[in-house]
């Protein structure tokens, strides 16, 4: 049996030390301000992204990893004797999965050596699936066994997050001007949830950001005890240490604190939700 390489795109929002310690190869997506072309997590980070948005008054365009770039990455590891499992941002959010399949079909003999999983998710919701892939790889499972085991988990991932400001969603065309005005006037902090591979406004708590955190804590509590206890992610796009600590402490009242992983959202996710976004993500049994 061939050894297995886990490959993900940069939207899975795990930390650099996770990528390195778990031997995950990462394909960066593009972040483009006009003719200024950057690679997510390589040549631009979220803090620099926010500065550029403030300077230019507009959001960048994000670009999927191209078939050529993905094919090059696949060939590199196939030539080293690896079989591959690949996942990234869900197919309804980006063409990266589509491009990965194009790349796979361009490689002779890849049919039984490259397995491409549409996460139907984003950020560390996809990252949770990557962590499962790594665990199974380390248990000695084949690429096909990893794919077959993780695929049924896709609809079981719970991804939700509260947005501090509607500005980025408005600029990105994901909410109307009226909704933005309503949100500001009534201090609404919408909780966004991934459902059927897309994003919906799940709840509209009024008040401070903490109200949206509390809604997510209540959802997690409601899902217990049917929550997978390998990893629970708290991912943010830049929030106060106080908000992060509050979220962590509340989750730690419900689960073993050792399984809570904190990560920072990369540029692709951050440019859609903006600063001041934080969420809890987990897999249900």
Torsional sign, CA 135, 126, 241, 206: negative
* Domain count across the chain: 2
Q: Is the pTM of this model over 0.85?
A: yes
- At 62-113, the pLDDT tens digits run 999 999 999 999 999 999 999 999 999 999 999 999 999 999 999 999 999 9
The domain in which residue 277 lies consists of 156-283
Specify the CATH number for the domain of residue 128: 3.40.50.10170
Residues 134 and 198 grouped into a single domain:
no
Examine the domain organization and report whether 164 and 130 are in the same domain. no
Beta-bridge partners for 161: 192, 279
What pLDDT is attached to residue 78? Answer: 98
Within this chain, do residues 70 and 185 fall inside the same structural domain, yes or no?
Answer: no
The residues of the chain scoring below 50 in pLDDT are 170, 172-186
């Amino acid at each position: 049996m061939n050894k297995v390489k886990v490959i993900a795109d940069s939207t899975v929002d795990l930390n650099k030390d996770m990528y390195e310690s778990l031997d995950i190869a990462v394909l960066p997506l593009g972040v483009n301000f006009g003719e200024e072309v950057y690679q997510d997590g390589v040549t631009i980070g979220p803090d620099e992204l926010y500065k550029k948005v403030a300077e230019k008054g507009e959001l960048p365009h994000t670009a999927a990893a191209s078939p050529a770039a993905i094919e090059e990455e696949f060939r590199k590891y196939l030539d080293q004797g690896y079989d591959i499992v690949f996942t990234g941002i869900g197919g309804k959010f980006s063409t990266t999965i589509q491009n990965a399949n194009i790349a796979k079909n361009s490689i002779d003999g890849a049919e039984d050596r490259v397995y491409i999983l549409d996460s139907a998710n984003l950020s560390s919701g996809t990252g949770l699936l990557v962590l499962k892939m790594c665990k199974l790889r380390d248990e000695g499972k084949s690429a096909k066994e990893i794919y077959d085991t993780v695929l049924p988990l896709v609809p079981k991932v719970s991804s939700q997050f509260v947005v501090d400001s509607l500005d980025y969603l408005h600029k990105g065309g994901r909410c109307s001007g009226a909704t933005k005005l309503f949100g500001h006037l009534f201090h609404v902090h919408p909780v966004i949830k991934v459902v059927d591979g897309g994003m919906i406004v799940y709840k509209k708590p009024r008040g401070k950001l903490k109200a949206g955190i509390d809604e997510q804590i209540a959802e997690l509590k409601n899902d217990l005890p049917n929550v997978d206890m390998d990893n629970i992610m708290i991912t943010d796009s830049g929030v106060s240490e106080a908000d992060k600590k509050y979220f962590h402490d509340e989750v730690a009242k419900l689960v073993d604190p050792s399984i809570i992983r904190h990560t920072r959202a990369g540029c692709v996710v951050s440019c859609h939700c903006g600063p001041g976004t934080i969420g809890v993500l987990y897999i249900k049994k």
